[in-house]
Structure 1
C-alpha cells in the first residue's frame, strides 16, 4: 500500500496518522455497556476518542465521549503523553501473565479497566476486571536508532495474572489517570484447545502502521517519519525496522483494529466456535493448524514472514480452510527478530525497496500472493464502489437474496484485489469468482475488483474477499449488509460442517 492521505490530530500537535477508508477511527464502535459518571454528572462511555465523536443517545449505554475538558474522559496524546502504555508480551494463555509498561505525565495514580471484545447483546465489549489504583511515573523518553523507536527500557507498571476461568479472546486495557486522561492497550488471550475456527489478529501489520509517537519529531512507521522541521516524510524516508515495545499512536489502538473486532462480534453473536491467536503466534510455531477446521484472517494483513506463509500453506495442504476477509493480504515479506533485551519477535523489519538484499514483495520472488489467495492486490480504491455479484447461483450466495449483477453498495473500499491471468493459480479442484466490480483508481483509470473461492485437493476451501469493506459489513454500525452476513455464514457453516 502506498502513502495515504494524512491529517492533523485535534490535539494541536504536529501529529498525523494514516486515515481509515471508512472515515473514522476504530474507537467509536468499541461500545461496551459499562459507563461512568463524569465530574459534571454526565454519563460517559468507557473509551476516549481523539475524533471527539459523540454517538450516545441512550442513557447508560453507547454514550460517546469527547476529548474536551467537560465531564468525559480525555484522550491522551503522543506529545504530552498523559498516559500511554504497551504490553511486553504477545498473546498469553489463562494462567500466564501480561506485563504492562505505562508512562504517566504528570505522575499520579491511574487504573486499568480490562474489556473483552464480543457481541454481548450488542454492546460490543464487556468489562472483565479493574486493577487497584496504581502509582504512575514518567518513563524515560523513547530510544531511537535509525528511525526505530523503542520503549523496551520502560519499567514494569502492572502485571495482569490471567485467571484460568477467563475466556480466550481479544481484549482492550483502558488506562485512566486520576485527572481523567485515557488511553488503550490491546492484547490477546489464547489457548491451545481445538476449535472450529482460529481467528488470527494481524498484530504484525498493526505494528507496521504504528507511527508512535505522533509528536512531529521522533515517531516512525514503515510508511512515515518526520524531518527536523516537523514535516511528515513518506515511505522512502520511513523506518526499515519498527519495535513492538512501544504504545500504539493516538488513542492507543492500531489502525484497522476495528475490522477484526467487526468479525469477532459477528462470530460470537452467531455462536461460532472460535479460538484466538496473533500473527506472531503463526510465525513462532505456536499455531497447530490441525486443531482447527479453518483459519480466519479478519482484517488488513499485509505483512507476512516466511514462517507465517509456510504454516498457512501447510494448513491448506492438510485440509484446513482459509478465510481472508480483507485485501492487500501477504503483500510484503518481513523478518521478526528479538528485542535488545532478548525477548523474541519484538522487532519487525521490512526493507521494501531500500538497500541491498532480497526483494521484499512476495510477487518479486516468484511467490505471488495469488498462489495462496487465488487473487492478489491490485490497488487503492479512493472512493467506495459497489460490489457486483457474479455466479449468484453458487452456494455462497444462497439465501442472500443476491442476483446476478446485483450491486452491494460501497462494499469495494480502501483497497482491492483481483485475479491476475499471467500469475500462477494454486492447485485446485474447484474455483469461482464471486464478484467482478469496476472502480476508478486514484488517477481515474478504470479497474476492477474480484472475490475468489477455490477448493484444494485436500478438501480445504480458500476464500478471499478482495476488499477492505467485507468485515465492516458484518457488524459495524452504518456498514452492515445482510447479504454479506448471510454469505459469510454460508462459508463458515460449510467450513465448520454446520449445514
Structure 2
C-alpha cells in the first residue's frame, strides 16, 4: 500500500507539473478570432497543443439561456456525422418555423473560464419547416429532411463542438466531434454518442420509451436530440472536458462510433476517459478498449453503468453506423445466438460481464449517498487530506457500481471507497470506487454517476458541498495528469483488498440483474 510520504510526493509532482503548464499557457499569445486556428493540432516544443489553443480568446456566447431555448417545433437540427476529421465537411439538417437561421460553431474548452471559443459562423440561410419524422420498423424514428447546409471544418482543431442554431432570438444545439487523426501519446476523451441516442426521445421513441408502453428496438442518429439538443453532453461530458482542457494536457477526441469503426484507433494512447454515462457498447468498441488497456493505455470510467448493454451499429439514412440496434431480448433479436446478440453483456447467449473491463458490475438505480473513503493512501487521493471513513457528501448516485468477487474481476482490484447505500426503497448495498493494475496501465472507476455532476458545482438538492466539489476536482485532476504520462508510467501501485470486505457473490442486492453462465 502506498505510504503517506509517497502520497505527498505524488501531490507535489502533480502541483509542479500543473504550475509549469500554467506558465506555458501564460506565455502564449491569443489568436485573432474565429477561423484563425489551423485545423491541425501538433504539440510544440513549448507544450501540448491545448495550451496554445486555450490561450485564445474565449466567449460565453455558446450558452443558451433558458428563455431563449427553442421548442422542437420552432427550431432544431442534426448533423449527418457524429464525428469528422479536421478539414472534412458534414451536412447539417435544420427545421425552422422562425424564419432565417444562422449557425455558430463553438469549441468546448477552458479559455480562461469562458468555456468555449467561436471558430466559425454561417451566413443566414432560409429556415424551412421540414417534414414530420417517419416511424420505421421497430419504432425507429428518422427525420428524412433535406440538407440545409454543408459545414466546412478546415480551420477547426480537434475537440468537442456545440453548433448553436439561432432564429428569431431562439436557439438550439447540435453536437459534433472533430476527432483526432492519431491518439498516440495522448489522453483520449470519448464522446459516448451511442448512449446519447439510446436515451433520445425526439420523435416519440427511445430505447426506453414510446407511446402505449412501447419502446424502440432501433434508434437513428438521423434526427435531432431532445431538450436543448445536447442534453447528454451537458450532463455527462461538458465539465470533465473543460477540466481536461484547463490542465494543458495532450488530448485527443473520439466518439464511441469511432472506436467501433477503427479497431486500432487507440494505438499508443496514454489514457482513455469514459466521461460519464457510457452504457451502450458494441463488441468492437469493447475489444478496441481492451486491446488498448493490454498494451499500456490507462482507463478511467468517470460514471457508472458502463459497458452494460451490448449493441450493434447498422448503416442508416446518411451513412454507415447511423443506427443503434438493441432488442434487449435474444429471442427477439434476428441474431439470437451470436457474440453481438443485443442483450446485457452479462447475459446469455454469450456472457461477457463488464467487470473484466471496468473492475465492477453495474449495481443499482436509484441510490444516493455520501462516498466513504476505504483506502486514504490511494495515490489519486493525494492532496485531498482524506482519512479512512471520511464521508464526501453528494458524490454517490443516481446509478452505482459495485465490486464482486466473481470470475472476471481483476485479481489486483483495490476498493478505495466503499459506500453503504439503499438501493431503491429497501435493498442495502454498496457503491464502490475501484482501481486495478493491468501491467503498464491501470483502470480507475468511480462507480457513481454523480461524480461528473459534482464537477458542475455545489447543489443543495443532492447534498453536494463546496468540499465535495474540491475533492472530486482534485482527484479527477490527479487521474488525468497521471494517465497522461503514458510510456508505461500510467499504472499505480495499490494493494488488493476486495476479499477483506466480505462481499457476496450474489447480485440480488441491486437492480443490474444476474450474471449468467
Structure 1 position 77 matched with structure 2 position 71: yes
Distance 1:88 1:394 in 2: 44
Structure 1 position 403 matched with structure 2 position 390: no
**Count of aligned pairs:** 413
Query: 1:205 matched to which residue of 2?
Result: 195
Tell which deviates more after alignment, 131-140 or 347-356.
347-356
Structure 1 position 172 matched with structure 2 position 162: yes
Query: 1:394 matched to which residue of 2?
Result: 378
Structure 2 gap segments, 5+ residues each: 1-56, 490-517
State the 1:492 CA deviation: 2.6
Structure 1 position 415 matched with structure 2 position 409: no
Distance 1:482 1:104 in 2: 42
Distance 1:370 1:330 in 2: 9
**Deviation digits for residues 334-366 of structure 1, max 9, x if unmatched?**
00000145x100010101136252460101132
Distance 1:431 1:242 in 2: 36
State the 1:419 CA deviation: 0.8
Structure 1 position 283 matched with structure 2 position 257: no
Kept in 2: contact 1:222–1:350 (CA 8 A): yes
**Deviation digits for residues 281-331 of structure 1, max 9, x if unmatched?**
001116522231111111100000010011111111111111110000010
State the 1:489 CA deviation: 2.6
State the 1:484 CA deviation: 2.0
State the 1:279 CA deviation: 0.4
Note the 1:256-275 alignment, pairs <5 A.
Answer: 257-275=234-252
Of 469, 476, 484, the match for 1:488: 476
Structure 1 position 138 matched with structure 2 position 138: no
Note the 1:318-357 alignment, pairs <5 A.
Answer: 318-340=295-317, 343-353=319-329, 355-356=332-333, 357=336
Distance 1:199 1:419 in 2: 25
Query: 1:226 matched to which residue of 2?
Result: 211
Query: 1:443 matched to which residue of 2?
Result: 425
State the 1:423 CA deviation: 4.0
Structure 1 position 96 matched with structure 2 position 72: no
Q: SS of the residue aligned with 1:121?
A: helix
Distance 2:270 2:202 in 1: 37
Distance 1:126 1:148 in 2: 35
Q: SS of the residue aligned with 1:338?
A: strand
Kept in 1: contact 2:92–2:147 (CA 8 A): yes
Distance 1:115 1:273 in 2: 20
Kept in 2: contact 1:386–1:411 (CA 8 A): yes
More strand per residue: 1
Structure 1 position 186 matched with structure 2 position 175: yes
Kept in 1: contact 2:309–2:342 (CA 8 A): no
Of 110, 114, 138, the match for 1:123: 114
Structure 1 gap segments, 5+ residues each: 1-31, 36-44, 49-64, 68-72, 214-218, 228-232
**Deviation digits for residues 228-257 of structure 1, max 9, x if unmatched?**
xxxxx3xxx200000000000122113354
Kept in 2: contact 1:294–1:322 (CA 8 A): yes
State the 1:199 CA deviation: 0.6
Note the 1:19-58 alignment, pairs <5 A.
Answer: 34=59, 46-48=62-64
Distance 1:265 1:443, change over 3 A: same
Structure 1 position 362 matched with structure 2 position 350: no
**Deviation digits for residues 44-65 of structure 1, max 9, x if unmatched?**
x6543xxxxxxxxxxxxxxxx3
**Deviation digits for residues 383-440 of structure 1, max 9, x if unmatched?**
x3100011111212222111111111110011000012234313x5x33111000111
Kept in 1: contact 2:159–2:177 (CA 8 A): yes
State the 1:381 CA deviation: 3.0
Note the 1:57-76 alignment, pairs <5 A.
Answer: 65-67=65-67, 73=68, 75-76=69-70
Q: Normalized against structure 2, the TM-score is what?
A: 0.76
Moved over 6 A (4+): none
Q: Normalized against structure 1, the TM-score is what?
A: 0.79
Q: CA RMSD, aligned part only?
A: 2.0
Q: SS of the residue aligned with 1:487?
A: helix
**Deviation digits for residues 90-136 of structure 1, max 9, x if unmatched?**
21111111210111125x21100111111122222222221101111
Query: 1:471 matched to which residue of 2?
Result: 452
